[in-house]
Amino acid sequence: MLPSSATLVPDAEVSGRNILSVLGGLVSRNVATRLCEELGITEVDAEEWYSISVLGLLFNLISDELGPDVLFSLGYRMPSVGGVPPTRIRGLGSALRQFARQYADTHRGRGAGRVMVEDVGDGDFMMAGSKHYPCPFLQGYLEGLARRWGGTGRYSVVHLDEESDYRDSSDCNFRIVRQTRVI
C-alpha cells in the first residue's frame, strides 16, 4: 500500500537560524547580502525552514566568489558567531556533543544527514559530519571548537576522507587527536 501524502517524509530542510549563522560568519555584510540575492532569498527568517539544497548553493557561491580558503576560515569562526552556545559546555567532548545535538535540532527530513561524535579514549574523538557541509568548513569548525574548548590540551584535527573534493557526496570523517607532550 502506498503511503498517503500525510505520511510522506518531507525532503530535507535546514533551519533559517543555521543559514543566518553561516552568513554571520562572513566578514562582509555586503557579501552576505549579495549571496542571498543570488540565491533568490531576500530575507532569512530564523524561525523558518528552507530546502537543504540552499546550503550547497551557498557554499558553492562562497567558494567560487571568495575562494575555497574562505570555507575553512568561515568554519573556524562558527563557534564564536553562534555555532555552539556556551551554556553547559564542559570541555571539548561536551562541545562536540552539543554540536551534534544542535545539528539534529536544526536539520530535518529524509536525507538531512547527521553529526555523530564518539569518544574513542585517550582524549581522542571521532566525528562523522554531514555531507551538506564542505569538508574544509567542518575542518575549520572542529579546529575552532578545539581551540575554544580544548582547554590546556592541544588537539589536531585529522580529516580521514580519501576524497579531497568537498562536493563528494559521502559523509565526512575526522579524528580529533589529543597531542601528548613529549618531554
**Interface contacts to Zn ion, rule CB under 5 A:** 135, 161, 172
Asked whether 93 and 125 are in contact (CB, 8 A), the reply is: yes
Specify the residue, 49 or 99, whose C-beta has the smaller distance to Zn ion.
Answer: 99
**What size, in residues, is the chain?**
183
Asked whether 178 and 122 are in contact (CB, 8 A), the reply is: yes
Specify the residue, 32 or 172, whose C-beta has the smaller distance to Zn ion.
Answer: 172
Other CB atoms within a 10 A radius of the CB of residue 66 amount to 17
CB of 171 to Zn ion, least distance (A): 8
CB of 161 to Zn ion, least distance (A): 4
CB of 10 to Zn ion, least distance (A): 26
CB of 92 to Zn ion, least distance (A): 20
Specify the residue, 133 or 155, whose C-beta has the smaller distance to Zn ion.
Answer: 133
Asked whether 59 and 67 are in contact (CB, 8 A), the reply is: no
CB of 176 to Zn ion, least distance (A): 14
Asked whether 15 and 46 are in contact (CB, 8 A), the reply is: yes
- List of residues 6+ apart from 105 with CB closer than 8 A: 15
Output DSSP code: residue 38: H
User: Nearest-CA neighbor of 84 among 144, 151, 167?
Assistant: 144
Output DSSP code: residue 22: H
Specify the residue, 26 or 172, whose C-beta has the smaller distance to Zn ion.
Answer: 172
Specify the residue, 52 or 89, whose C-beta has the smaller distance to Zn ion.
Answer: 52
